Amino acid sequence: MLKLVVVVKFKEGIDDPEGKSITHSLNLLGFENVKRVNVAKQYEIFVDADISKGREIGEKIVKKLLVNPVIHDYELRVEEI
Amino acid sequence: MLKLVVVVKFKEGIDDPEGKSITHSLNLLGFENVKRVNVAKQYEIFVDADISKGREIGEKIVKKLLVNPVIHDYELRVEEI
């Protein structure tokens, strides 16, 4: 069994309204030294496959469903479990 | 400057409808060997503070705004940048 861990973030320069909102809220709550918050999504995908195929399957899944390449960057880790 | 990285996931046993929906979609798209998907949020919080205070600040932020302890677990990493 493989665990594919995919982290999908906004590209540099793309607006992150949730991150801005959290930054603002934290400043109001007394955390004035918080300068920026970036929000990303993490997917743990459990796949019944051989480790040698892990990265290939992960890349396909990411491109097919999880990432919009215009606005997102991603990281992919493959772990055998 | 510190970067606090917080990953917020659902506790074991708590329903993750987005993860279920992605699993179902991937199965329909031909990835029949995908067994489960867990969805989590990752926050990168940039704080102007000393490394010795990093974990304390991170724990406070997490409890104040980012996590509902009834349904969420979290991981916190503190990095100096």
Summarize pLDDT for B25-80 with one digit per residue, the tens: 999 999 999 999 999 999 999 999 999 999 999 999 999 999 999 999 999 999 99
Range of the domain at B73: 2-80
Asked whether the beta carbons of residue A46 and residue B40 sit closer than 8 angstroms, the reply is no
The total of structural domains in chain A comes to 1
Q: Is the dihedral of CA B44, B45, B50, B53 positive or negative?
A: negative
What Cα–Cα distance (Å) separates residue A52 from each residue in A47, A77, A79, B65?
A: 12, 13, 11, 41
Radius of gyration of the CA atoms of chain B, in A:
16
Q: Name the residue among A20, A22, A8, A21 with its Cα closest to residue A70.
A: A8
| B11: helix, strand or coil | coil
Q: What is the pLDDT of residues A7-57, one digit of tens each?
A: 999 999 999 999 999 999 999 999 999 999 999 999 999 999 999 999 999
8 Å CB contact of A44 and B61? no
Strands B34-47 and A34-47: antiparallel
What pLDDT is attached to residue B6?
A: 98
Q: How far is CA B33 from CA A15, A60, B11, B30, B67, in A?
A: 35, 13, 24, 9, 32
A49 and B33 within 8 Å at the Cβ level: the answer is yes
* A contact residues 26-65, partner B, Cβ 8 Å cutoff: 26, 29, 31, 33-49, 57, 60-61, 64-65
Domain with A17 in it: what CATH number?
Answer: 3.30.1280.10
Contact B37 A29 (CB under 8 A): no
- ipTM score: 0.89
pLDDT range class, residue A65, cuts 50, 70, 90: very high
CA–centroid distance for A14 within its chain: 14
- A43 vs B31, B37, B66: nearest CB: B37
